Amino acid sequence: MDIVRLLNFGLGSLPLLSDAETRSISAENPTGEKGGGAKAEPDEKSPASMLGKGWKVRPCITLPPESTTTLAEIEGPGIIQHIWITVHPNAYRDTIIRFYWDGEESPSVEVPLGDFFCNGHGLRYNVNSLAVCVNPSGGFNCYWPMPFKKSAKITIENQRWEPIGGFFYQITYALTEIPEEVGYFHAQWRRSMTSRERPEHVILDGVKGRGHYVGTFLAWSQFSSGWWGEGEIKFYIDGDTEHPTICGTGTEDYFCGAWGFGESFCSPYTGYIFHPPSGGISGTVPRHSMYRWHIMDPIRFRSDLKVTIQALGWWPNGKFQPLTDDIASVAYWYQTEPHAPFPPMPPIHERWAR
């Protein structure tokens, strides 16, 4: 079966007709059922009270404190094609978004909401790429295709001590056949403080199965003066131990820049999207955000994968200086199920920006 035709990927396949059925879940249609939208009844306090049922009655929800809300439960087979979310920035690090495929008990995606959409440090800024767009003012958009064969479930956990109001969302998907060889979408968040003894951040480890790595997002807090990006990224593939199969040449090189970036940029596959001085906020340490999508160059693995990045600067004598920096990352990949367990998500106070 032609996968391109089946899943309708890319502009070139748009003229091809399909038997897929398009559905969309939002606060106005929580189940995504056919003919299920705009059914909420306005009360006297509703802005739609003078218009009645069928107008803009329930455009958003409130996330109760210290609780998990199910955003979507879908019976497949099908594929999620677009997700749009907007909410106040206090939710960016204090809520966790999770995705479950085909009834699995442990999530395949577990990431703080803002970082999943490349808004790190608990801050809002624009992103313009193929896979993720953040549009003014805080419109989160995800275009990673997410196929499933039996079911899909998306939840959002509010770990704050107070409710989060004004949570808007739209999850658009297609009900269609899914080929046997399609992998499942995964994303994992990690955070660490590098040390002079071991100036290395682990982006991903413990992956078991067959798949391909498709993206990296970094939110980097710099605690030393000067240039911070001499470190190399390394991909340990299919049994690599001491030495990786893929070894980069520098942090800005991996994100497809050069010579210390010099300025911010946003492109379809790579971006350096938050940095001082344009990203500088008075009284804070220098912070940086970068993304790299392996859409045209996915990194294939057959049995296992580990990804690391170093934190290196310069000593005055021209030697590399190991840095103690605060690095948070999101790894994005596709793989066969079941997946290996994720490391425990740090508690809310260990996710806050410095």
Q: What is the pLDDT of residues 47-60, one digit of tens each?
A: 988 998 999 999 99
Domain membership of residue 175 (yes or no) is yes
Q: Structure pTM?
A: 0.96
Angstrom distance (rounded) from CA 184 to CA 186: 7
Query: 108 and 160 share a domain?
Result: yes
Domain membership of residue 115 (yes or no) is yes
Q: What is the pLDDT of residues 229-275, one digit of tens each?
A: 999 999 999 999 999 999 999 999 999 999 999 999 999 999 999 98
Per cent of the chain over pLDDT 70 is 96
Decide if pLDDT at 37 tops 60: yes
pLDDT at 175: 97
Domain membership of residue 33 (yes or no) is yes
Separation of CA 311 from chain center: 22
Query: 246 and 319 share a domain?
Result: yes
Q: How confident is the model at residue 278 (pLDDT cuts 50, 70, 90)?
A: low
pLDDT at 34: 96
Look-up of token digits 């094609």: 81
Per cent of the chain over pLDDT 90 is 87
What's the CATH code of the domain at 117? 2.60.120.1390
Please state the rounded mean pLDDT for residues 28-52.
92
**Nearest CA to 298 among 236, 210, 212?**
212
Of 131, 156, 181, the position where a domain reaches its end is 181
Of 159, 181, 203, the position where a domain reaches its end is 181
pLDDT at 274: 92
Query: 260 and 319 share a domain?
Result: yes
Query: 117 and 197 share a domain?
Result: no
Averaged confidence pLDDT in the chain: 94
328's CB contacts (< 8 A; 6+ apart) are 115, 120, 189, 190, 191, 218, 219, 220
194, with CB counted inside 10 A (0-12, 13-18, 19+), is buried
Query: 159 and 308 share a domain?
Result: no
Domain membership of residue 6 (yes or no) is yes
Query: 50 and 95 share a domain?
Result: yes
Query: 121 and 217 share a domain?
Result: no
Query: 191 and 284 share a domain?
Result: yes
Domain range for residue 157? Answer: 1-181
pLDDT at 140: 98
Angstrom distance (rounded) from CA 221 to CA 267: 22
Domain membership of residue 290 (yes or no) is yes
109's CB contacts (< 8 A; 6+ apart) are 97, 98, 99, 116, 185, 186, 187, 188
Query: 294 and 328 share a domain?
Result: yes
**How far, in Å, are 10, 44, 190 from residue 66 at the CA level?**
40, 29, 21
Decide if pLDDT at 280 tops 70: no
Angstrom distance (rounded) from CA 318 to CA 56: 62
Decide if pLDDT at 209 tops 70: yes
Query: 3 and 152 share a domain?
Result: yes
Separation of CA 72 from chain center: 17
114, with CB counted inside 10 A (0-12, 13-18, 19+), is buried
Q: How confident is the model at residue 8 (pLDDT cuts 50, 70, 90)?
A: low
Domain membership of residue 346 (yes or no) is no
Query: 4 and 64 share a domain?
Result: yes
**How far, in Å, are 232, 248, 303 from residue 207 at the CA level?**
21, 20, 8
Domain membership of residue 303 (yes or no) is yes
Domain count, the chain: 2
Domain membership of residue 354 (yes or no) is no
200 with 310: CB under 8 angstroms? Answer: yes
In degrees, rounded to 5, the angle at the alpha carbon of residue 35 between the alpha carbons of residues 34 and 39 is 130
Query: 208 and 328 share a domain?
Result: yes
